[in-house]
Amino acid sequence: MARKKPITVEDLWALTRLGAPSLSPDGAQAVVALNRYSVDENSAQSALWLLSTLGGAPRALTQCGDKDGQPRWSPHRRDGSELIAFTAKRDQEGRKDSASQLYLIAPDGGEARRAADVATGVEAFRWCPDGQRLVFISWVWPELKGNKAQAKAALAFRDRKETGYVTTAAQYRHWDHNLPMGRVPRLHLLTLGADGEAGKVRDLFEGTPYQLALAEPGANDFDISPDGKRIVFAYDPAPEKRGDGRYALVEMEIQSGKARLIACDAGWDLRSPRYSPDGQRVAFTASHQAIKHTMPDQLAVWDRATGTHAVVSGEWDHAVHAPLQWEEDGLAVLFCSEDKGRTHLFRFDLADRRAEVAVHGGWVSAFDKVAGTLVTIADSALHPARAHAHLPGAAPLRLETFNDALMDGLALGRVEEVWIAGGKADPTSEQGDPVQMWLVYPPNFDPKKKHAVMHNIHGGPHTGPGDNWHYRWNTQLFAAQGYVVASVNYHGSSGFGYAFLDSITHRWGELELQDVEAGTDWLLGKRWVDKKRLFATGGSYGGYMVAWMNGHIPAGRYQAYVCHAGCFDWVGMFADDAWHWHAKELGNWYWDDMAQVARQSPHAFASTMSTPTLVIHGALDYRVPDAQGLAYYNTLKARGVEARLLWFPDENHWILKPRNSQLWYAEFFGWLKQHDKLAK
């Protein structure tokens, strides 16, 4: 047998990444987008592949191109044929797409053809049940009427010489990009033309006040009724659109454009609607924002017969994640939900309001079910995403082996889940609350030797990773450097019930620090831990935490920190794209109670910071603006604390380019080794 080797950054980027599946009408095949990366060319390519749910070999449907993605299999068409639609930017018939377009290809192959010329581009889409029409999202100028006017405006905007962005909107940028200036996302109906002919496009929202969510509108924001006559979509009725808007559900007749509110409550945020198989009900997610901004998404159902809706998962202490999918008998709804560091696919029975695990994680990230065949995409801390078919009464069937040859040659570390006594959400409690900590050991771990420990502090704060594969913060890659990697799901993490998630509200840093320190104390009690080789790293909220630790933990306990895209100053953070939640999380606007905000801000404790820190940030980070990282770095330099800065002009909150990722890991490991007395 060939000797296995530790995983490297190059191995990480050599892995194929699977997208969400879409099943054929008979459930015999699934189409997925595969993403592959080239470190040499510093680029990504994607292609569509067909996976047989009956056990056949995968087959390439398209060649690697520029982001062939979001594939969706059509229903059976009138002539008995089927098509696969997908979004892409291509150069076809001498015309290069300036914006993403909708393409069609037959499942048995051939040339893909552009379905229509949409000057404003196609964001996401769904098939109508007749297989002859599709509904898609495009950003358009709301004051203009007709496709010709939109195309003229799009051309003029592309050719303009000015670069200024002018707006009066409360929400004008998201994540790493400005929202299209003066435009809104609307639903459009595309009726396919004959082969070789462009389809006809109609703006379904023209002349109405309707628009979809401004932040990454997608296919989960709307659905099409089983008879193809109506659409249902989530809409913010507030005059001014903000990132914390509370959405209602609207149903519209496709032919007439007649629309009505079917579910609306000023205290609730209602989203992700899905029609039942008979079209008489709509399942959706509902969050009671009037109680608190941290309230979870719950499962709700609207009934056409009564015209009323009700939350059905209120007694189930889990958050419901879109997409939702009805079982074909209409008796249950499928969705994913986090549960103690894992994400499972759940089946929620509507009659008795009971949730049961349909497929266990790891981390189930996507699924589809048609004709009794269920396909899932799931990863774990031991492997990247894999596709499986789940047939009644049969064991899960693996559908592909894209990464097996590479993974079989890697020596991975053992993964362990432990529970520790952490901070006390209730100060009158006699014992600390149970807190989960994940450990990934170095390959060939020897408990008789001393090992360095690296805290991997997750972001969010309201996330709860654990048994999952992460490309930007890969615990196996960290462990391959010789570290025992500890990931604490501190108070505030998701997947452990609402009370645990909400416990940090208005007192950020307090309980989380107690939890991380409890994890460190637990580790220091192990004979295989070197007490002089402790490190703490984190990104986003995890970056906030290591900056917080630098101001609260005495010098010498940790040898060095790594702060990636971390929050440093809550006043300066008001430049972010999510300013609307500051007072909700911190307890007040900074101008109303500066002291309360400062108590939760790392910058207020700069005078006690002394631990060497590597600060990393991207200029395109609008969630945590890069001025946060620069201010932290400058503060450390001004105080004479050893610090190093890694700044990317072309990256956002995440590091996404292969060569930049290589540099990121090199600087990350180099910094830790520089402060590790025994590092080779």
- Confirm if 153 and 141 have CB atoms less than 8 A apart: yes
User: How is residue 220 annotated by DSSP?
Assistant: G
pLDDT digits (tens, 9 = 90+) for 101-155: 999 999 998 999 999 999 999 999 999 999 999 999 999 999 999 999 999 999 9
- Confirm if 331 and 349 have CB atoms less than 8 A apart: yes
pLDDT digits (tens, 9 = 90+) for 250-268: 999 999 999 999 999 999 9
Give dist(CA 400, CA 394) in Å, integer. 17
Q: Which of 438, 435, 501, 494 is nearest to 466 (CA)?
A: 438
Confidence of residue 3 (pLDDT cuts 50, 70, 90): confident
pLDDT number for residue 62: 95
Q: What CATH topology corresponds to 16-158+170-408?
A: Neuraminidase (2.120.10)
- Confirm if 525 and 558 have CB atoms less than 8 A apart: no
Q: What would the mean pLDDT of 156-162 be, rounded to a whole number?
A: 96
Give dist(CA 537, CA 391) in Å, integer. 42
Tokens 């080789």 — which residue? 533
Give dist(CA 250, CA 262) in Å, integer. 6
Half-sphere exposure of 141 (CA within 13 A, CB side): 18
- Confirm if 265 and 275 have CB atoms less than 8 A apart: no
For 338, 381, 412, 459, 530, the CA distances from 526, given in Å and listed in that order, are: 30, 23, 22, 27, 9
Q: Which of 100, 80, 81, 79 is nearest to 90 (CA)?
A: 100
Mean pLDDT of the chain: 96
Q: In what order do the strands lie in the sheet with 200-203?
A: 125-127, 133-140, 184-191, 200-203
Q: Domain boundaries in the chain?
A: 16-158+170-408, 413-674
Q: Assign 435 to helix, strand or coil.
A: strand
Calculate ∠ Cα 324-334-372, nearest 5°: 115
pLDDT number for residue 477: 98
Tokens 């805290």 — which residue? 455
Confidence of residue 67 (pLDDT cuts 50, 70, 90): confident
Longest dimension (CA), the chain: 75
pLDDT number for residue 118: 97
For 11, 339, 402, 412, 658, the CA distances from 6, given in Å and listed in that order, are: 9, 30, 19, 7, 19
Which long-range contacts does 641-645 make (Cβ < 8 Å, 24+ apart)?
641/609, 641/610, 641/611, 641/612, 641/613, 642/612, 642/613, 643/612, 643/613, 643/614, 643/615, 644/613, 644/614, 644/615, 644/671, 645/614, 645/615, 645/616, 645/617
pLDDT number for residue 64: 65
Give dist(CA 301, CA 308) in Å, integer. 9
pLDDT digits (tens, 9 = 90+) for 292-304: 999 999 999 999 9
Letter string b/e over residues 593-631, b meaning 16 or more CB atoms within 10 A of that residue's CB = eeebbbbbbbbebbeebbbbbbbbbbbbbbbbbbbbbbb
Give dist(CA 237, CA 264) in Å, integer. 9
pLDDT digits (tens, 9 = 90+) for 356-368: 999 999 999 999 9
Q: What is the DSSP string of 539-579?
A: ETHHHHHHHHHHHHSPTTSSSEEEEES----TTGGGGSTTG
Letter string b/e over residues 482-515, b meaning 16 or more CB atoms within 10 A of that residue's CB = bbbbbbbbbbbbbbbeeebbbbbbebbbbbbbbb
Checking if the pLDDT of 1 tops 60, the result is: no
pLDDT number for residue 47: 96
Checking if the pLDDT of 613 tops 70, the result is: yes
Q: How many residues does the chain have?
A: 680
- Confirm if 491 and 504 have CB atoms less than 8 A apart: yes
Please compute Rg for the chain using Cα positions: 26
Checking if the pLDDT of 286 tops 90, the result is: yes
Confidence of residue 544 (pLDDT cuts 50, 70, 90): very high
pLDDT number for residue 353: 98
User: How is residue 474 annotated by DSSP?
Assistant: -
Residue 348 CB contacts under 8 Å (≥ 6 apart), including other chains: 299, 312, 313, 316, 320, 332, 333, 334, 335, 354, 355
User: How is residue 455 annotated by DSSP?
Assistant: E
Checking if the pLDDT of 427 tops 70, the result is: yes
- Confirm if 346 and 355 have CB atoms less than 8 A apart: yes
Domain 413-674 has CATH 3.20.20.140: no
Q: What would the mean pLDDT of 309-320 be, rounded to a whole number?
A: 98
User: Is the N-terminal amide bond of 461 cis, ω within 30° of 0?
Assistant: yes
- Confirm if 420 and 412 have CB atoms less than 8 A apart: no
Q: What would the mean pLDDT of 472-481 be, rounded to a whole number?
A: 98
